[in-house]
Amino acid sequence: MNSNSTPSAAPPVARLIEAFSRLPGVGPKSAQRLTYFMIRMPREEAEALAEALISVKDRIVLCSKCLNITEDPVCAVCSNERRDRTRICVVEEPLDVLALERTRAYEGLYHVLHGSISPVNGIGAEQLKIRELLDRLRDETVTELILATNPNLEGEATSMYLQRLISPLGIKVTRLARGLSSGADLEYADEMTLANALEGRAEVAVDKETSTE
């Protein structure tokens, strides 16, 4: 496989190309481009990059509560006393936490599943951090669980699965509203998105003052 993509590369070069092409979304062409970019890189920059890689491996752990990636045993969100401990928002990936934090609209805690149920790829509930979530729900004082999985079939399957598992525990289970994305034209919306947007429609407040916060 790799031998024909890099027929004449020197062994260290071939090794780096090979390493890059194992990254998600990087094909042989991009791996070559990245490698030749790095060959021209100043030594200090290359060292900084290598050091950054190593320290990610050495220093990054999963938060013992929410399983987000962190440098500390308990992450900044979980150890922040001002966060609302009665709510947990369930997301698929650490990057989803970043996205939600950027909104500054959520004050509760998180739980990172590290994936979604994907039966066709043989990924079931066992491979996700669901058991850890159930442990938290048993120990902590959570009253609302917000499902924020991706709005696709596998994300929905994961949410439905969690809903069935957790509703009997007497915890309120909610999910993010799904609908039209801002900036998109209605005519391009697919039928699922439109149906969801209709289902999640909200009454237009006529008399209320618009808040200017």
Residues that bind Zn ion (CB under 5 A): 63, 65-66, 68, 75, 78
Answer for the pair 145, 174: CB distance below 8 angstroms, yes or no: yes
Q: How many CA atoms lie within 13 A of 134 on its CB side?
A: 15
Place of tokens 């060959």: 39
Answer for the pair 173, 163: CB distance below 8 angstroms, yes or no: yes
197 scored as a contact of another protein (CB under 8 A): no
Of the residues 152, 172, 177, 201, which one makes contact with another protein according to CB under 8 A: 152
> Nearer to another protein by C-beta: 64 or 121?
121
Answer for the pair 85, 140: CB distance below 8 angstroms, yes or no: yes
Of the residues 49, 53, 76, 119, which one makes contact with another protein according to CB under 8 A: 119
181 scored as a contact of another protein (CB under 8 A): yes
Token digits for 211? 């808040």
Q: Name the nearest CA neighbour of 196 among 174, 177, 175, 173.
A: 177
153 scored as a contact of another protein (CB under 8 A): yes
> Nearer to another protein by C-beta: 21 or 70?
21
CB of 132 to another protein, least distance (A): 13
CB of 210 to another protein, least distance (A): 25
CB of 78 to Zn ion, least distance (A): 3
CA 40, distance to chain mean position in Å, is 34
CA 111, distance to chain mean position in Å, is 10
> Nearer to Zn ion by C-beta: 63 or 147?
63
Of the residues 92, 96, 132, 156, which one makes contact with another protein according to CB under 8 A: 156
Q: Name the nearest CA neighbour of 147 among 88, 77, 68.
A: 88
CA distances from 201 to 48, 194, 196, 205 (A): 50, 10, 8, 12
Residues at the site binding another protein, with contacts judged by CB under 8 A:
24-25, 117, 119-122, 124-125, 131, 134, 152-154, 156-157, 160-161, 164-165, 167-169, 181-184, 188-193, 195
